[in-house]
Amino acid sequence: MLLGCFRWSILVTLLAVLPLKVMAQALPDFVELVEQYSPAVVNISTTHKEVEGHPWGKLNIPEHSPFGELFKHFLDDEGVMPPRPEDASSLGSGFILSADGYVLTNHHVIADADEIMVRLSDKRELKAEVIGSDKYTDVALLKVDADKLPVVKIGSSEKIKVGSWVLAIGSPFGFDHSVTAGIVSAKGRNLPRASYVPFIQTDVAINPGNSGGPLFDLQGQVIGINSQIYSRTGGFMGLSFAIPIEVAMDIVKQIKAGGTITRGWLGVYIQEVTQELAESFGLDKPVGALVSQVIEGSPAEKYGIRAGDVILAFNGQAIIDSSDLPPLVGRVQVGEKARIKLLRDGRTKEIKLVIEQLPEEGDAAAEAPKGPSVNRIGLSVSSLDAKTQAELGRGVRIDQVSPDSIGQRAGLRPGDIILQIDRKNVENAAEFRKIVAKLPTGRMIPVLVHRQGADQFIVLKIPQSE
């Protein structure tokens, strides 16, 4: 009996200890990686002159005030304290690409700086020159006057998988060579105002000052540049984003080649394909990038892409989410050919076109009505004025939306301009009435709307019995 109890206690002990040993073996050891590559990580500080005037503005000093003589030393002839220059500074991180002093960091770390200082791991501080910078990808290349510097190894973000361990080294809040680790949470994330970067999302602790620092894989190779965090407090909340190293090195290559950065341009506005839109366009599932507007004079217009086309693949790479498309287009060299697979009127089609250079951003406008027209989907519409008609080429303006109507449930608003219904162009109010009268029941109907200077698709749900 005692022997049986003894054996049982040994078994329980083994079961309790074994998972801890297995877990310990599974956890990575970053010590060697940090020792080998942290010397190639640098702290970047910048200064720029800010001119500030006194918040009090003009001071009215009484003529015989005892403070008159004192304030004369600080005020100009008008009684206003003149603006004074103040040094503003910011901190960031970077890493050394080559032994002769090329350093990679974020554009936002060095933007508008009058002076940039790079502090090395051996405490040397060197003045840096900006070789080139790109705000669209948030990448900047610097050069310091030094040689025989420690360097990082460049890896591949494409090989890294979601769930893989990664490590960051940087200077959060100015604490040099701080090391944090985590896993890859997702890949190909699209963020606002950064549509040309398919970000790597991680749960690595990144804070102000980490920007521009390297993201390493377990082999000690740099797979990304830590760039942004999602935060409601200004500090780390578990959502960090890194620029894939392939994107950054493409910018470095262009900067070194001539300093001018070119980026491919297709010339379309796109939106996500929802389940409702997928049904209305005859797709089995919600995939692709829905073209809501084609820009005049763009490659897309020249080669026949239309609003309502759903782009399914670009150069053989499937477009699952609409955010997949801009980075693929942006990476194509200007003047190169591209293949686009799209869905139009229920059929797939392939278009070959030549990619052109991304131009500077433009703007657009809109205006007012003529005589109402009531219809079965609860909209009161009117023809466009001559100016708007000339700008858009077609369409009708929504004047009123009836409460609890099909139009209101779809999200249509007064002021929207309807350009297309069920993939048919709306030329005027009379044409609009004819199209609406013939809309089929029991299915989703795509409606192309011009709203606040941009085009987008909205889905009408026409019930079986109206």
| Residue 109 shares a structural domain with residue 174 | no
Give the domain-ending residue among 144, 170, 190: 144
| Residue 96 shares a structural domain with residue 177 | no
Phi, psi of 35 (to 5 degrees): -60, -40
pLDDT value for 96? 97
Q: Per mean pLDDT, which range of 24-33, 178-187, 247-256 is the poorest?
A: 24-33
Per-residue pLDDT reduced to its tens digit, 416-450 = 999 999 888 888 777 888 888 888 877 888 999 99
C-alpha–C-alpha distance, residues 298 and 307, integer Å: 13
Of the spans 102-111, 288-297, 318-327, 432-441, which averages the highest pLDDT?
Answer: 102-111
CATH of the domain at 209: 2.40.10.10
| Residue 177 shares a structural domain with residue 227 | yes
Instruction: Give the chain's mean pLDDT.
Output: 81
Residue 1 lies inside a defined structural domain of this protein: no
Residue 292 lies inside a defined structural domain of this protein: yes
Task: Please give the residue range of the domain that contains residue 75.
Answer: 38-144
3-state SS assignment for residue 192? coil
| Residue 245 shares a structural domain with residue 307 | no
Residue 13 lies inside a defined structural domain of this protein: no
Residue 2 lies inside a defined structural domain of this protein: no
Both tokens assigned to 59: 């001071």
Both tokens assigned to 70: 């004192």
pLDDT value for 200? 94
Give the domain-ending residue among 80, 112, 144: 144
CATH of the domain at 412: 2.30.42.10
Q: Predicted confidence band at 292 (pLDDT cuts at 50, 70, 90)?
A: confident
* Catalytic positions, written as ranges: 108, 138, 211
* Tally of CB atoms within 10 A around 303: 15
pLDDT value for 106? 95
Q: Predicted confidence band at 261 (pLDDT cuts at 50, 70, 90)?
A: confident
| Beta-carbon contacts of residue 294 (< 8 Å; ≥ 6 apart) | 267, 268, 269, 300, 301, 305, 306, 307
Residue 32 lies inside a defined structural domain of this protein: no
Give the domain-ending residue among 258, 286, 302: 258
pLDDT value for 360? 58
Q: Predicted confidence band at 464 (pLDDT cuts at 50, 70, 90)?
A: low
Per-residue pLDDT reduced to its tens digit, 72-124 = 444 555 555 555 555 556 789 999 999 999 999 999 999 888 899 999 999 99
Residue 5 lies inside a defined structural domain of this protein: no
Q: What does the angle CA 266 – CA 267 – CA 269 come to, to the nearest 5 degrees?
A: 115
Of the spans 145-154, 191-200, 455-464, which averages the highest pLDDT?
Answer: 145-154
| Residue 421 shares a structural domain with residue 455 | yes
The residue among 62 and 368 whose pLDDT is bigger is 62
Do 197 and 243 touch, CB atoms closer than 8 A? yes
> Residue 326 is inside which H or E element, if any?
helix 325-331
Residue 90 C-beta-side C-alpha neighbours within 13 Å: 20
Both tokens assigned to 228: 């942004």
Q: Predicted confidence band at 59 (pLDDT cuts at 50, 70, 90)?
A: very low
pLDDT value for 73? 47
| Residue 48 shares a structural domain with residue 128 | yes
| Residue 322 shares a structural domain with residue 380 | no
b/e map of 437-447 (b: 16 or more CB within 10 Å)?
Answer: eebeeeebbbb
Instruction: Name the domain count of the chain.
Output: 4
Residue-by-residue DSSP string for 278-314:
HHHHT-SSS-SEEEEEE-TTSHHHHTT--TT-EEEEE
Nearest to 329 by CA among 299, 306, 364: 299
pLDDT value for 33? 94
What global pTM score does this model have?
0.65
C-alpha–C-alpha distance, residues 70 and 93, integer Å: 45
| Residue 291 shares a structural domain with residue 324 | yes
Q: Is the pLDDT of residue 58 over 70?
A: no
Q: Is the pLDDT of residue 160 over 70?
A: yes
Q: What does the angle CA 207 – CA 212 – CA 217 come to, to the nearest 5 degrees?
A: 90
Arithmetic mean of pLDDT, 8-23: 52
pLDDT value for 44? 95
> Among residues of the chain, what percentage have pLDDT more than 70?
80
Q: Predicted confidence band at 6 (pLDDT cuts at 50, 70, 90)?
A: low
| Residue 333 shares a structural domain with residue 403 | no
Residue-by-residue DSSP string for 449-460:
EEETTEEEEEEE
C-alpha–C-alpha distance, residues 369 and 398, integer Å: 9
Q: Is the pLDDT of residue 371 over 90?
A: no
| Beta-carbon contacts of residue 32 (< 8 Å; ≥ 6 apart) | none
Both tokens assigned to 170: 């940087």
Q: Per mean pLDDT, which range of 20-24, 109-113, 210-214, 344-348 is the poorest?
A: 20-24
Q: Are strands 139-144 and 454-462 parallel, antiparallel or unpaired?
A: unpaired
